[in-house]
Structure 1
Amino acid sequence: MADLVPGLLICLMAVQSSQQEGNSTRTKTNIQVGAIPKTFKGYKPNQTNQLPALIHPSSDPHLQVNPEDPVTAYTTGVLSTWVIPLTYILAMLVGVPSNAYILAFLRVRLSSKSFSTVVLYLNLALSDLLLLLSLGLRVHYHFNGNDWIFGEVSCRLITALFYGNVYCSAQTIAGISLKRYLAVVKPFLYRRMAKTTLALWTCLVIWILYGAAIVPELLVRQSYQITQLGITTCHDVLPLEEKSHFPLVPYRMVLVCLGFILPFLICIYAHVSVVYHLGQSACDWRPFIRVSTLVFVIFVVCFLPSGILHILHYIKLFSSGDDGLYGYYRVAVCLCCFHSCLDPFLCILVSKTAASELQFISLHGILQRPAVMT
């Protein structure tokens, strides 16, 4: 599985590269999201220019794009009109029923002794489910030639759900990893902790950060009409020359660090520490270490590319105006969706690794020591 996911990413990147060399017929419109970095640039049309007749009759603002820019190739190419929506459909078919089942299963376990663990996995399943459900309208959007027909309000809502839950999933996984670290590396401290209270506060902080992530998408315009192409895009092309975007540049960078970089560093440290301490034990922890490492590698493969490309695209966009990395970023985000649909199966895989004294909670458990992880 760990070999298949990187292969998929490489194939999708190759499709994007081939598209940007030739394809110059259409473009997308997007949000005035106050300096959100994951978009192409758009320009306000000159007042003297006449809008083409194929533009949908609407009072929505219009933008122009340079036909030679990567935005045109991305908007009209196979990557955005077929590969990405088909990837979303696959993730939804697998992830929606599995995460819904996990939610139903864990709900009846809230009164169990492992309440704190159940709460964290409920939080993860809910976040993954919301992320996957937000893909439905985006599938239609991409199949429709990147032409958004559902209105501005729905565009803001879908955009907020999509990106907010990507952050939320990564932060929840970091919280689970930290809990596992405390149980294995600091067992005496872990026994003295108020685990239920800590789990509830962790979830509360995560959802506060989730709210901070979605506010820009909900407060500003997300859909624009592209004058040359006659389409209305949703969160793909922004009027970056507008003054309203610049104050939010540092805000978005901080959000990327809190939503991607910090959870990633926590997961790395927690996993390495847990593996090291288990390796020093007299017991044979190799089955669990192998499975835990596989889960960690899948997390890295799914989240690290989007985090790196997000930051690089942000830096290039506002330093030199180059938005050529946006298509690659959209491919990398598909991997985040795959992780959301894989989470329930990864939990099952960990729970089935019944190594010697290890005790697992079926479907939603994380590494436990007897009478410790409660």
Structure 2
Amino acid sequence: MAVNASDWLVPTVGPELDPCSNYTEAWLWLSSLQPAFLGLISVMGLLGNSLVLCVFCLQRKPCTVADVYLGNLAAADLVMISCLPFWAVTIAQGYQWDFGEILCKLVNVVISMNYICSVLFLMLVSMDRYLALVKPLCSSRLRRAAWAKRICLGIWILGFLFSLPILLFRTVTYVKDAGVDACILDYPHPAWSLHHNISRNVMGFLIPVLVVVYCTRHIVAALNDRGASGLPGVRAERKAAYLVLAVLAVFLFCWTPHQVMLFLDTLDYFEVTPGCLWGHVLDIGIQLSTYLGYSNSALNPFLFVIVGQHFRRKAKEVFGKTLNPWSKDMSYLSVSFTSVNRLNEIQHVSIEKLEIS
């Protein structure tokens, strides 16, 4: 989700006349914490997701369907995390955007794409675990890596189309009240904001989560089914399912508050809950829930390491050879020196025999 810089503007009415004067203090407090928090999750996310992608790309064995989906999830998180430092610097400068209008659009399109792509990748990986555990004997094109890659390409395209309003209406504008050139989302009509909230709630959360809940219910039932444990390959699929369930649980924990805040913001649009104080609480709540959602991209790599047994094994194979390149060289050199010494001994014995004869 993109940060809406128009939400942070301080009220122009004096504190003695403004019933919501503490709103300014709340925003100043929030703005003082945002740069450090964004910087922290940026460093964690860049290192962690780079590690995950390296393991998936450098592993010897061909990628499974789950690897393809989880690898694309890590790529989406990595690209999004790489855009957060722009906002960390901007917020630290009082929301002064110094990176030009092109980056204003591009950075926020990437951030917007991350959410819709992530939730769809998680939906697909839950469907893959459903087919692997609940329908293990049923062959499907969805369980082929080649088809998984094509589906992922379609999701990236869908994420871009979903973020087209961000590309069209994000702009750098001078904001007189704040005295800065801000990167804001300038919709031509307030109804666009309503459409944004509803599409995020329904297409970007409700429908995928219903699919995930359905699949998860059957996955958990299959994990508890001891009779199916004897089927070939089911044990390995069960281990992979635990990682998927952990990633899904953390995703819901991080992003559900933001979806709730968007729904409340939609109610505020229809003036169901009037009052300036409620609107300010929503503004701050949306910001806090957004940053909780951003932290999901930094937490996923730790889940791979803590929960994913197969991932840890793959990481040891990949980085064990990468970090110890001298092991092969030293063994090669030792064999070479041994061979040379043996050859010298043979030549020395042959020369002695010739001299004696």
TM-score, with normalisation over the residues of structure 1? 0.68
- In structure 2, how many angstroms separate the alpha carbons of the residues matched to 1:103 and 1:206? 18
Q: Which residue identity lines up with residue 224 of structure 1 in the other structure?
A: T
Pick one of 301, 307, 313 that aligns with 1:350: 307
Q: Is the 8 A contact 2:205 2:259 kept in 1?
A: yes
Is the CA contact 2:113–2:163 (under 8 Å) kept in the aligned structure 1? yes
Which letter does structure 1 place at the counterpart of 2:306?
L
- Cα RMSD (Å) of the superposition? 3.6
- Structure 1's unaligned 5+ residue stretches are 1-35, 43-62, 365-374
The answer to whether structure 1 residue 150 and structure 2 residue 99 are counterparts is yes
Structure of larger gyration radius: 2
Q: Does 1:327 align with 2:284?
A: yes
CA distance in 2: counterparts of 1:290 and 1:41, whole angstroms: 39
Give the aligned residue type for 2:298. C
Match of 2:220 among 275, 283, 287: 275
Structure 1 residues 36-115: aligned runs within 5 Å: 40=6, 67=13, 68=18, 73=24, 76-79=27-30, 81-109=31-59, 112-115=61-64
Deviation at 1:342, TM superposition (A): 1.5
Whole-Å Cα distance in 2 between the matches of residues 70 and 203 of structure 1?
48
What residue is the counterpart of 1:306 in the other structure? 258
Give the equivalent residue in structure 2 for 1:162. 111
1:123 aligns with 2:72: yes
Closer, same or farther: CA 128–287 of 1 in aligned 2, 3 Å: closer
Distance 1:263 1:82, change over 3 A: farther
- Distance in 2 of aligned mates of 1:134 and 1:173: 22
- 1:339 alignment counterpart: 296
Bigger drift between 140-149 and 90-99 goes to: 140-149
Correspondence for 1:184: 133
Cα distance, 1:307–1:211 mapped onto 2, change above 3 Å = same
- Structure 2 Cα separation of the partners of residues 143 and 247 of structure 1: 29
Q: In the alignment, which of 104, 123, 128 is matched to residue 174 of structure 1? A: 123
Moved more, 275-284 or 215-224: 275-284
Tell me if structure 2 keeps the 8 A contact 1:40–1:71: no
Which ranges of structure 2 fall in alignment gaps of 5 or more residues?
317-357
Q: Is the 8 A contact 1:74 1:327 kept in 2?
A: no
Q: What TM-score do the two structures reach when normalised by structure 2?
A: 0.71
Identity rate of aligned residues, in percent? 23
Contact 2:126 2:215 in 1 (8 A): yes
The answer to whether the 8 A contact 2:122-2:248 is kept is no
Larger relative helix fraction: 2
CA contact (8 A) 1:41 1:65 kept: no
Which of 159, 164, 167 matches 1:218? 167
What's the offset of the Cα at 1:176? 1.1
Aligned 8 A contact 1:295 1:346 in 2: yes
SS at the partner of 1:187?
coil
C-alpha contact 1:38 1:310 (8 A) present in aligned 2? no
Secondary structure, counterpart of 1:188 in structure 2: coil
Q: Distance in 1 between matches of 2:192 and 2:245?
A: 41
Higher relative contact order (CA 8 A, sep 6+): 1
How many residues are aligned here?
A: 298
Distance 2:174 2:26 in 1: 13
CA distance in 2 between counterparts of 1:277 and 1:71 reads 53
Mapped contact 2:12–2:177 kept (Cα < 8 A): no
